[in-house]
Structure 1
Amino acid sequence: MNAIVKVENVGMSFETKKGSFIALQDVNLQIRTGEVVSLIGHSGCGKSTLLNLIAGLTLPTSGVMLCNGREIAGPGPERAVVFQNHSLLPWLTCFENVYLAVERVFSTKEGKDKLKARTSEALEMVHMTHAAHKLPHEISGGMKQRIGIARAFAMEPKILLMDEPFGALDALTRAALQDELIGVMAKTGATVVMVTHDVDEAVLLSDRVVMMTNGPAATIGEILEVKLEKPRNRLQLAHDPHFAECRAAILEFLYQKQMKKAA
């Protein structure tokens, strides 16, 4: 399977009052088309920094970032981002929030009827048709994230980038949205890169889990292949020995890194 994203010897540093801060160093990663990859590690290990580099929101200070064989020089419609904060415009309805993204991507190719149809299909995919004409303040946090996911998928991106999309939600809502996302990913076949702190979430959703070393000068410590058949059922996986092995391997890596950090 071809790599849609290539990260080659990438480093990222920021200038501070105390001098240069090296966030990432010598990061190498290839993400295959249709693959779901999670980035996990302790706070400050550069997970979100790496995600922002793939999104083109920031540019690396060294190394090369490629998407579809082209250098990533900025944001692009082939890469959609879902943040932990839903980032919906409060004065627009749920339908209008999704439509705005659809219009920006497809308005030169399609008429208004087709754009509205795309918007409706995206809302239906995340089961939010009933809230289409509500404003963001009229719906729950979990519903807002559903709209954010619908907006991202409505753009038909080649890559969906998610920065802890369920981190601010309660456990039951998070589990429901994870299951929802599994269904949406199965329908679209999109390539997904997700930042998470949740070990169970990483194993449940991912084909590979990329474990980051502690910062500063963080890099990739280990990459774990999750060899579980899809679609995945969380209740069945609770008793699956490979799920338990993957979970234990990630926890062991994170615990060892935490002990080194404490030392």
Structure 2
Amino acid sequence: MTALAQTILPAPDRQVAVLEAAGVVLRYPGQLKPVVEAFDFELDAGETVSVLGPSGVGKSSLLRVLGGLQKPTDGTVTMNGKPLRGVPPRVSIAFQDASLLPWLSLEKNVAFGLNFKHQPHLTPEESKVRVDVAVREVGLTHARRYFPAQLSGGMAQRAALARCLARKPEILLLDEPFGALDEVTRTEMQHLLLKVVRDFHTAAILITHDIDEALLVSDRILLLGGTPARVIGQWRIDLPTPREDYIAELGAIRVEILSRLRGATLRRIN
């Protein structure tokens, strides 16, 4: 069996899914066609899945449904077997905009929301420990008292990631969080994501338009295409990380993804 074949075959034994979507359809009022239809998906504990697709295909809309921010028009989304009703306490979401509150220091931004009603009750000491651990994990201990205006783009995204980690997420949802960063900083954040997933034993769904990013950080890649959107391709990346030494294997998968992506884009245009 070739290395490429190993990457695209389904795993022989699946764990119990922490997140599951069955027959999900998303339609906005006034639209004849759904944005997404017939979407079935399982996310395993500790797994990182990237979702690729043409611009405007509905990747971010789908993430909102999977995170409980929006109800599907039809179908079900469950976490650990229970239907989603809003965003569960152990689901954290990060967007391309770090959305830090400018009047709070970095450490207070990381702590923001820990005492919200839907979060588990924490004592001040427990909150402090969570913030300390999260800030240290993303390498910002030296900047904990900085304000957002004093942070670079990469530091701001690290702070946003720390804010997610302080909630001890079982699932981390990421909507193109590195898209606005320069190439060097983006690479650093990709390596940080791998570290965070390993250290916090969290599962992650990454929305990205960058095929190389998906290949470097994912256990599995889903390709969305069509109108309405549905899964038109899926690849399992069974290679150790970091993956910079596996250019040939990743290159073969990249060519296949590009071919499917171009086909999907042309069908949307025509």
Return the offset for 1:107: 7.7
Between stretches 103-112 and 71-80, larger displacement belongs to 103-112
Equivalent position of 1:237 in the other structure: 246
Q: Secondary structure at the match of 1:103?
A: coil
Pick one of 208, 214, 226 that aligns with 2:237.
Answer: 226
| Shift in alpha-carbon separation, 1:86–1:63, aligned structure 2, 3 A | same
Letter in 1 for 2:94: V
Residue among 6, 12, 18 paired with 1:4: 18
- Say whether 1:83 aligns with 2:95: yes
**CA RMSD across the alignment:** 1.6
* Equivalent-residue separation in structure 2 for 1:139 and 1:257 (angstroms): 39
Residue 56 of structure 2 corresponds to residue 36 of structure 1: no
Matching residue's letter, 1:14: Y
What letter is aligned with 1:84? Q
Q: Say if 2:49 and 2:218, in contact at 8 Å, map to a contact too.
A: yes
Q: Could you tell me how far 1:261 is from its partner in structure 2? A: 2.6
CA distance in 2, matches of 1:162, 1:154: 15
The verdict on how the C-alpha distance between 1:260 and 1:67 changes in structure 2, with shifts beyond 3 A counting, is same
Question: Is residue 2:257 matched to residue 1:250?
Answer: yes
Give, as a single letter, the amino acid of the residue that structure 1 aligns with 2:233. E
How far residue 103 of structure 1 moved from its aligned partner, in angstroms, is: 3.4
Please name the residue that 1:14 is paired with: 28
Name which of structure 1's ranges 21-30 and 130-139 shifts more when overlaid on structure 2: 21-30
Residues 107 and 8 of structure 1, relative CA distance in 2, 3 Å threshold: closer
8 A Cα contact 2:170 2:201, kept in partner:
no
Q: What is the DSSP-based 3-state SS (H/G/I as helix, E as strand, rest coil) of the residue aligned with 1:122?
A: helix
Structure 2 residue identity aligned to 1:219:
R
**Equivalent of residue 121 in structure 1, options 133, 148, 155:** 133
- The percent of aligned pairs where both chains have the same amino acid is 33
**Deviations, residues 148-202 of structure 1 (Å, cap 9, x unaligned):** 1111011011100000010111111101111111111111120000100000110
Check the 8 A contact 1:105/1:155 in 2, yes or no: no
Residue segments in structure 1 that go unaligned for 5+ positions in a row: none
Instruction: Say whether the 8 Å CA contact 2:46–2:197 is kept in structure 1.
Output: no
Three-state SS of the structure 2 residue aligned to 1:14 is: coil
Identify which range, 125-134 or 94-103, moves more after superposition. Answer: 94-103
SS of aligned partner of 1:104: coil
Q: How many residues are aligned here? A: 256
By how many angstroms is 1:235 displaced?
3.1
Which residue in the other structure is 1:94 paired with? 106
The secondary structure found in structure 2 opposite 1:194 is strand
Say which SS state the counterpart of residue 22 (structure 1) adopts: coil
Kept in 2, the 8 Å contact 1:42–1:214? The answer is: no
Alpha carbons 1:44, 1:214 under 8 Å: kept: no
TM normalised by structure 2 equals: 0.90
Structure 2: 5+ residue runs without aligned partners?
A: 1-14
Tell me, what secondary structure is at the counterpart of 1:252?
Answer: helix
Letter of the structure 2 residue corresponding to residue 30 of structure 1: E
Partner of 2:267: 260
**CA apart distance, 1:108:** 5.7
What is residue 3 of structure 2 aligned with on the other side? none
Partner Cα distance (2:120, 2:191) in 1: 34
CA gap of 1:4–1:254, structure 2 versus 1, over 3 A, is same
For the residue of structure 1 that corresponds to 2:27, the secondary structure is strand
For the residues of structure 2 that align with 1:197 and 1:87, how far apart are their CA atoms? 21
Deviation at 1:106, TM superposition (A): 9.8
Q: 1:106 to 1:132 in 2, by over 3 A?
A: farther
